[in-house]
Structure 1
Amino acid sequence: MSGNGDGAARILVAGIGNIFLGDDGFGVETVRRLAGEDLPPHVEVADIGVRGVHLAYQVLDGWDVLVLVDAVGRGAAPGTLHLIDATADRALPGGAGVPLDGHRMTPDAVLALLDTLCAGTGATPPRRIALVGCEPACLDEGIGLSPQVAAAVPGAVRMVTELVDRESALPSPIRRTP
């Protein structure tokens, strides 16, 4: 794989969620809006949706930073944004025992398997994994975000772009050939 030329950290921003379950589509809507932003060339924005296997393959492509964007229930008011450092979550106890099942590759399963997947392929795991999450109001069947979560999307876009700016200032520790 070739580098980006300027030595900046390669960043993958992955929107996760099911657009058919109301506010669970938060991550997908946020990355849709991010795709219209003027981001540096070393940043890729991907709509992962519910395709955890696709996320696993993307992560193995040698990213320095992984930013997941998803609905996250943490008990706060609907529409509340959270920035969570999930770097340590890939070392979850029992992660090596998680089965490789394409139908059950949720983002947490991908993170739990990350070190095993990287060891098996020779890939380097991201040095940082962040989660930009939004407290959902409704996860019932139906398309469209609740008013609270829809109102939080612009703030999430700002949160991700600020994170990208901070992480872009750090050099990539992953060696690539031109």
Structure 2
Amino acid sequence: MRVLVAGIGNIFLGDDGFGPAVVRALPPPGSPGVRVTDYGIRGMHLAYDLLGDWDALLLVDALPNRGAPGRVEVLRVDPDAESGSYVDAHAMDPEAMFATVRALGGTLPATTLVVGCQAESVAEGIGLTDTVAAAVPVAAAAVGSILGDLLDRQEV
């Protein structure tokens, strides 16, 4: 099984740097089919990488503050859902990146998940708020659990 774990977010905008912080906290992948990469705001780079043959994609990202800051959630993405066609090579909007993959002739993996954390502040500045920083190990454990489930499923 080939799984891409993609940390996304802007480290210069406070809690938006959650994805990169989580992928830095992950241990090295224990399986040769797992790749963990900090994409930051390089959506085009991620889109090109997704043209490869991946069985699963785990995006790790900050979520818009719609609930309790620091809450970690795992969300399933419908890989067949259509999104806009706006392409910005220097931004990291997942819907735009998904549209770019499709525009390049690729498809998203059938298993596409987001491990996200409700942001507290995305004001300019480097570093996560204390609330979101405390969620980094929780999200790293969630990524590890999901990877374990995906890899176990492969062996069945």
Q: Given the two structures, how large is their TM-score scaled by the length of structure 1?
A: 0.79
Find out whether 1:42 has 2:9 as its counterpart: no
Cα distance, 1:42–1:84 mapped onto 2, change above 3 Å: same
Deviation at residue 76 of structure 1 after TM alignment = 1.5
8 Å Cα contact 2:11/2:17 also seen in 1: yes
Partner of residue 151, structure 1:
134
Cα distance, 1:75–1:98 mapped onto 2, change above 3 Å: same
Deviation at residue 44 of structure 1 after TM alignment = 0.4
Distance 1:124 1:49 in 2: 21
Partner of residue 136, structure 1:
119
Distance 1:31 1:147 in 2: 18
Partner of residue 13, structure 1:
5
List gaps (5 residues or longer) in structure 1. Answer: 1-8, 173-178
Distance 2:125 2:88 in 1: 27
Match of 1:53 among 32, 41, 44: 44
Larger radius of gyration: 1
Partner of residue 73, structure 1:
64
Find out whether 1:33 has 2:25 as its counterpart: yes
- Which piece of structure 1 moves more, 105-114 or 162-171? 105-114
Deviation at residue 55 of structure 1 after TM alignment = 0.7
Find out whether 1:106 has 2:93 as its counterpart: yes
Distance 1:150 1:90 in 2: 33
8 Å Cα contact 2:8/2:92 also seen in 1: no
List gaps (5 residues or longer) in structure 2. Answer: none
Deviation at residue 40 of structure 1 after TM alignment = 1.7
8 Å Cα contact 2:57/2:113 also seen in 1: yes
The code of the aligned residue for 2:137 comes to P
Distance 1:134 1:124 in 2: 26
The code of the aligned residue for 1:13 comes to V
Distance 1:16 1:40 in 2: 22
Deviation at residue 53 of structure 1 after TM alignment = 0.3
Distance 1:11 1:141 in 2: 32
8 Å Cα contact 2:21/2:136 also seen in 1: yes
Alignment of 1:122-133 (within 5 A): 123=106, 125-133=108-116
Cα distance, 1:144–1:98 mapped onto 2, change above 3 Å: same
Deviation at residue 73 of structure 1 after TM alignment = 1.8
Distance 2:53 2:79 in 1: 18
Q: Given the two structures, how large is their TM-score scaled by the length of structure 2?
A: 0.89
Cα distance, 1:99–1:24 mapped onto 2, change above 3 Å: closer
The code of the aligned residue for 1:14 comes to A
- Percentage identity across aligned positions? 45
Partner of residue 115, structure 1:
102
Distance 1:80 1:19 in 2: 19
